[in-house]
Structure 1
Amino acid sequence: MKPLKIFGILTLLTMTYLCQAQEIKPDEVKKIMERVADWQIAHFTDLYSGSEEPHHPLDWTNGALYVGMVKWAAMADNEKYYNWLVDIGEKYEWKLHFRKYFADDHTVGQMYLELYRKYQDPNMIEPTKEQFNFIMLHPAKTSLKWNTPYHQDRWNWCDALFMAPPVWAKLFKITGEQKYLDFMMAEYKATTDFLFDKEEHLYYRDESYMGQLDHGTKIFWSRGNGWVFAGLTNIMNELNPKSKEYKYFRGIYRKMAKKILQIQTPAGHWAMSLLGQEFYPTPETSGSSFYTYGLAWGINKGILDRETYGLAVKKGWEAMVSYVTKDGMLGFVQPIGAAPGKAWEDKTEVYGTGAFLSAGSEVYKLYGGK
């Protein structure tokens, strides 16, 4: 046998051994999740992204944190996480944030509805039901085009598909009332028809990025598409897998998953401009955590093949863990924005923590956690 061929075989065997030797351990996943959750709660009122005051507890930034925190609370061996979330809901009388139609201000509803499932307290969901009933009776008739009057009264930016649709889907599942699902489907399809690139199978952040190029590549913002990908899983969790609605979302999910697999960086994260790895080498952990979450979820649900997608999840999770400090702060979270930009090792954001905890919840299951 030729020496080069022997070397190739030995290299393959060595890589296989190392991959097996470094198998992710469920108890280690829980430990790092706990460290990150505890750090974030202790630093909940810190200033982020140049803010002059802490994010409002009902702001979308914290809403995304709660989406992950409630997943962690269900795994944790301590009720303090549920108690922390309930205290926030009670303080604000289970109301959504202040803008009636704006999807970002509906995000916190995901946490409210999950807490209702645990505690069965109608007060936890009544304000959300009342507001959504109003929206259905007085639907926004504005354009999805950017910079038109009241344009964000509808879901005309891709992040919105994480913020609001899962709330509508959860409300449908909890109440059994078809009207919530029907409204969500109509609006989601309108946004997808408008923002989804049928060639790249990714979403533009909003209309203003269509036709623009960054170093010769189309601009697909990593976190924005991460929001969409995670939102798809959170919606499908509420639907009957045999329903036409579920199959619609699964179709989008599979197309995105295939693309996401193709563009993962060798380091395990995803570039801030998804098609421009060479121009954005800095890691970004909020979008990357949501891709890791979504891919792991798909394997756990039998939608994705583990042999094809498993290594991407492993690389993604290990990369995310490597950016957690010994105290539990997740670094390299891009500040608030709407486009590819910069991130720093010593800077974080609450929504990054939420994405990380979401990822951990599915990675834990994938590697045998109960």
Structure 2
Amino acid sequence: MNLLFGKIFTIFFLICCISLQMPNAQAQKASKQEVFNSMQKVADWQIENFWEAGHGRRVHEPTNWTNGALYVGMMKWANLSDDPAYTDFLTGIGEKTEWKLGSRLGRYHADEHTVGQMYLELYRKSGEEKMLEPTQKHLDFIIYHPAQTSLHWNTPFHQDRWNWCDALFMSPPVWAKLSKITGDEKYLDFMVKEYKATTDYLFDKKESLYYRDDNYFSALDNGTKVFWSRGNGWVFAGLTNIIAELEPGTSEYKYFVKLFKKMAKRLKELQTADGYWAMSLLGAEFYPTPETSGTGFFTYGFAWGINNGILDKDDYEAVVWKGWNALQECVTEDGMLGYVQPIGAAPGQAWPDRTEVYGVGAYLCAGTEIYKMAQ
């Protein structure tokens, strides 16, 4: 009798343990209309406030990397919504900048290339050469005058190469898009060579995460290694934008997909119970404040991976919906996305009434893929 009771108790205990895990597997799912409405509200708020400072942000130059990241998400939203007003907004930016990449930090700096992602996507829609030519000439110059600098941070002209992880979102997708559009593999070859050099330098093979730059190789934060959420979000989202331009089965495709899957596996383990990723990925207990830019980019990457058959839906769908639901908690009634960590290079602080354009870009990227998943 005691043996039978023991078996029954064990089974009951196991059922309870499984039940405790069910909320993660049964994360609340939104309808397509709900996702669409949320994206529209956030996009409209951002456009309305684009030229005005406030909510913790200043007005950035149109070619600034912050805006470049916004345009990536806004371009995806423009294509999804099929409302010409959003494409017109982006085209107006291109006309204002004369379709040139940024120049404030120098010709080689990855941040100045970010806006090129929007230019090339608009070129795909219209075929107007003026949208393509300045970017192509800019990258041609770099190919024929490549930077000879070291990846070490404390060396001259070090940011002429991609020696900080943010750069892997800013510049490589531009090279991949240009290669696909023109059919010229020299752009892809250059990008892959430089990307591998950066990854060999900044990627921690044990954690499957990127250091922001070599200043963090030996740094500790509350006793944990410092892997910045948004920094890794830049990489994870950037990988999707690269892979989308590659031919399946090629060596380049296999390389980037393998890296993407490694990061996905680790990032899944690091998502917090409330759906966010902490600003310091290994130090969630020390950074309990929600943060939406890293969370937005991670959610986008996971959803894109599922939609494109790279990540298994059964393994990762709950991660996506938890991330999306967490983001929804940070959108105000009028459409402002809060809890965006300000410009920086390491874990820090975020506030409910502070936003930034790159956070909105991440949100719109995520929403575009979530819309495809929604019923």
**What TM-score do you get using the length of structure 2 for normalisation?**
0.94
After superposition, the C-alpha distances for 1:95-125 in whole angstroms (9 at most, x for unaligned) are 0011211000100000000000000001001
- Kindly provide the amino acid, as one letter, of the partner of residue 147 in structure 1: N
Q: Which residue type is aligned with residue 284 of structure 2?
A: Q
Q: Which residue of 2 aligns with 1:274?
A: 281
Taking only aligned residues, the RMSD between alpha carbons, in angstroms, comes to 2.0
Give 1:9 shift.
4.8
* In structure 1, distance between residues paired with 2:374 and 2:56: 38
Stretch of structure 1 that moved more, 16-25 or 358-367? 16-25
| Match of residue 359, structure 2, among 326, 348, 352 | 352
Q: 1:9 to 1:113 in 2, by over 3 A?
A: same
Q: 1:365 to 1:245 in 2, by over 3 A?
A: same
> Equivalents in 2 of 1:216, 1:14: separation in Å?
30
Other structure's SS at 1:68 match: helix
Please report how far the alpha carbon of residue 301 of structure 1 lies from its aligned counterpart in structure 2 after TM superposition.
1.1
Unaligned runs of 5+ in 2: none
Report the CA distance shift for 1:17/1:47 in structure 2 as closer, same or farther (over 3 A).
closer
Once the two structures are superposed, residues 229-271 of structure 1 have per-residue CA deviations (whole angstroms, 9 ceiling, x without a partner) of 0000000000001110010001110100000000100010000
What is the aligned counterpart of 1:334 among 341, 344, 349?
341
For 1:169, the aligned partner's letter is A
Query: Does the alignment pair 1:173 with 2:180?
Result: yes
Q: Among 209, 218, 226, which residue is 2:216 paired with?
A: 209
Q: Distance in 1 between matches of 2:161 and 2:23?
A: 51
Q: Alignment partner for residue 68 of structure 1, among 57, 70, 73?
A: 73
Give, in angstroms, the shift of residue 204 of structure 1. Answer: 0.3
- Identity level (%): 62
The aligned amino acid for 1:279 is F
Separation in 2, partners of 1:74, 1:320? 22
Checking the alignment, whether the CA contact within 8 Å between 2:330 and 2:337 is kept in structure 1 is yes
1:157 maps to amino acid: W
SS of aligned partner of 1:325: coil
Instruction: Give how far 1:292 is off.
Output: 0.3
What is the distance in 1 between the residues matched to 2:271 and 2:22? Answer: 20
Query: What is the SS of the residue equivalent to 2:265?
Result: helix
Q: Tell me which residue corresponds to 1:325.
A: 332
Q: Secondary structure at the match of 1:57?
A: coil
* Equivalent in 66, 82, 91 of residue 96 of structure 2: 91
Alpha-carbon distance in 2 for matches of 1:171, 1:18: 40
Once the two structures are TM-superposed, the CA of residue 22 in structure 1 deviates from its matched residue by 3.6
Deviation string 1:124-177 (CA, Å, 9 cap, x unpaired) is: 010000010000010000000002100000000000000000000000000000
Contact 1:219 1:275 in 2 (8 A): yes
The aligned counterpart of 2:374 is 367
| Residue type at the aligned position of 1:129 | Q
1:199 aligns with 2:200: no
Residues 1:23 and 2:29 are matched in the alignment: yes
Q: Is the 8 A contact 1:48 1:349 kept in 2?
A: no
Q: Does 1:32 align with 2:48?
A: no
1:78-227 equivalences in 2 (<5 Å): 78-98=83-103, 99-227=106-234
Quote how far apart the aligned CAs of 1:338 are.
0.2
Name the CA distance, whole Å, in 2 between partners of 1:17 and 1:183.
Answer: 45
Change (3 A) 1:298 1:17: closer
Q: How many residues align?
A: 367
